A and B are shown apart, each in its own frame.
Chain A
Amino acid sequence: MEDHSAKKGKTSQYDDDQISQLPCNVLNAIFSSLTMREAVRTSVLSTKWRYLWTKSLSNLTFDVPNILDREEYTSIDILYTSEIHKLIIPWKRKLAFLNSVDQLLADLSPDHKIEKLKVHFTFHRNKYGTHLDRWICFAILRGVEELDLSLLEIDYYFFVPLKGSIYDFPCDLLREDGSIGKIKSFLKCLRLAHCNLAPRHTNLIGFNTLTTLDLKWVDLTSNECVCNLLSSCRALEWLSLDKCYGLDYLCIAHPSCVRLKYLNVHDCKGLSVIEISGINLEKFEYKGYKISFVLNEAVIVPKEFPTFSNLKLLSIAEIPTNECDLLWIATLLKATASLQRLELHIHSNDNMEEPREIKRLPRCLHDYLKEVVITGTCGHFSEIEFAIYILNNAVVLDKMMIDPHPRYYTGNGKWDVLHACDSWKIIGRKRVLEHLTREASSQMVLMIL
């Protein structure tokens, strides 16, 4: 050991590698494309490199691959042989994590700016909250813009922790009279998962600069806390509540969140009413149980229906058709006047309805539509009605293909093709053929597979 350090001392006068002498902005760029672990590891290269990372690292990522290196700590499987191991290993693992992070923060140079702090580690209980508070405080004092805390490494779908047992996000830090309230916060983006966000007071000035708030599996505690939170987020543009719980009445009302453009509410357990008043949203997505919506002077879709004047190809996937009207697509077609090819990927079951009258829409000509592909058809009347609408209104239509095999989008431009529904051969095909051949003009190709 002594020998080693002595050698190091001697070599230091020689190691004038040029990379370490590059200007700060270049080193920042180099370090930002490394993982945090790789960046920190450069400190052992030479004495010149010893402190370079402490001045150049602006994205802090505290997760298992970056912080823990011993194999027994890196896997989260708790399938250890003995009961005692089940208790000791997670505990030791947590301590190792906390120590490494504290050590790392102590090494950072004091006037250094941090842009992003990400913590991804399992803290089941609030026991280690003081450490997290300290890290967050540290980052905010250094002008952090994005905070990303995810305090469970695996998303247990049915996991809902006991009340009060999870980490409380330290809202009080960001209050006007809070411990660091005097310092200007630069926080723009806050992403939280598996913790508790419940401000007990209003005027959290730290949230005034926030534009993005992304909450997942977050305990929002009560409607009142959400009100406190939203009233502080004056610059908020993007809000997502994914599987959050603890609130039953979400009210987004003028004057808080006046700049909100995007709202996403996804599977929030217990939520029964969403009220939006006086806010011009550009996009609002809701997924979950049936709830009531109260919209006062709120404009959800932009005032004019958007038109896509240059769109040539439109592909719509996973459309349900049973007892649903497909004629809404006709409205969409009006907005896409120059469309040439339309693909509809239908996704329905084969409960065939009894024969009924065909509904017809008023005429509305589509001058450019040349090709229409409809997949996953079962022979429902809604599908036939839509196909007839196209045949009657697309004046230059060359080709219409009706394919019973459903297609599912798997991402990256790839599709999965499944089997056609059973009733297609028996009833569906016959019915489609019978209705469409009457309507098709002689110049076009109608393919029914």
Chain B
Amino acid sequence: MSSSLEKNMLILRSSDGEEFIVPEVVAVMSKAIKNMVEDECASNTIPVPNVDANILAMVIEFCKKHDESEAEAASDLKTFDSEFVNRGQEALYDLITAANFRDVKELLDALCQNVAEMIKGKSVHHIRIQFLGYQLFEILTSNFIWNIWCDRDFD
């Protein structure tokens, strides 16, 4: 397989074993991968532990877009970035961890900016809903049950 591969392509393998064929210029947007390639300690297949296929696909999408659109207008790239990073908290967390671990500066910057935007100018209540929102129901119900039990005890 690797012999038929074009010269400047790399294979990235996610933590769950899925393989992605990526041009080298895109892959080296990750500093960690760049160092591996430069030190020639990487075979054609580069394992990307801690990052699952889903997240890796997203990271590659981002890098590809940024690689292609160097000549494109900066504003287009900005809208792409802001749409790209606008995700649920879980995906956001995984993306940040991946970008930080693999050292993809552009992606990390865009993601951090997005988290900052979630805090900027919002009320505490609003930020809580954004960050802790998906657990609110759980908290409310558990308190509710606890309260009933307490009440019963008092009875």
| Interface of B: prevailing SS | helix
A20 to B92, alpha carbons, bound, how many Å? 12
A1-54 contacts to B (CB < 8 Å): 7, 10-11, 14-23, 25-26, 29-31, 33-34, 38, 41-42, 44-46
Residues of A within 8 Å of B90, CB to CB, are 18
Is the Cβ of B135 less than 8 Å from the Cβ of A42? no
Is the Cβ of A42 less than 8 Å from the Cβ of B143? no
Is the Cβ of A46 less than 8 Å from the Cβ of B128? yes
> Given A14-B142, A33-B113, A42-B119, are A23 and B100 also a contact pair (CB < 8 Å)?
yes
Expressed in whole angstroms, the minimum distance between the Cβ of B107 and any Cβ of chain A is 12
Is the Cβ of B131 less than 8 Å from the Cβ of A34? no
Nearest opposing residue in chain A for B89, CB measure = A18
A239 to B22, alpha carbons, bound, how many Å? 50
A67 to B64, alpha carbons, bound, how many Å? 43
Is the Cβ of B138 less than 8 Å from the Cβ of A14? yes
Is the Cβ of B139 less than 8 Å from the Cβ of A30? no
Residues of A within 8 Å of B92, CB to CB, are 18-19
Nearest opposing residue in chain B for A43, CB measure = B124
A26 to B108, alpha carbons, bound, how many Å? 8
Residues of B within 8 Å of A29, CB to CB, are 108-109, 112
| Interface of A: prevailing SS | helix
Expressed in whole angstroms, the minimum distance between the Cβ of B98 and any Cβ of chain A is 11
A46 to B139, alpha carbons, bound, how many Å? 13
Nearest opposing residue in chain A for B112, CB measure = A29
Is the Cβ of B139 less than 8 Å from the Cβ of A33? no
Is the Cβ of A22 less than 8 Å from the Cβ of B96? yes
Nearest opposing residue in chain A for B109, CB measure = A29
Quick one: CB contact mask for B119-141 with A, threshold 8 Å, 1 for yes? 11100100110011001001100
Expressed in whole angstroms, the minimum distance between the Cβ of B73 and any Cβ of chain A is 18
Query: For the complex, is B149 an interface residue (Cβ under 8 Å from A)?
Result: no
Is the Cβ of B143 less than 8 Å from the Cβ of A30? no
Is the Cβ of A22 less than 8 Å from the Cβ of B109? no
Query: For the complex, is B9 an interface residue (Cβ under 8 Å from A)?
Result: no
Nearest opposing residue in chain A for B140, CB measure = A11
Is the Cβ of B96 less than 8 Å from the Cβ of A46? no
Expressed in whole angstroms, the minimum distance between the Cβ of A15 and any Cβ of chain B is 5
Residues of A within 8 Å of B139, CB to CB, are 11, 14-15
A45 to B93, alpha carbons, bound, how many Å? 18
Residues of A within 8 Å of B124, CB to CB, are 41, 44-45
Is the Cβ of B93 less than 8 Å from the Cβ of A22? yes
Partner of A22, one of B97, B127, B132: B97
Partner of A45, one of B89, B108, B128: B128
Knowing that A7-B143, A10-B146, A22-B93 touch, tell me 18 more A-B residue pairs with CB under 8 angstroms.
Answer: A14-B135, A14-B142, A15-B132, A16-B135, A17-B132, A18-B93, A19-B115, A20-B131, A22-B100, A23-B100, A26-B112, A29-B109, A30-B116, A33-B113, A34-B116, A38-B121, A41-B124, A46-B132
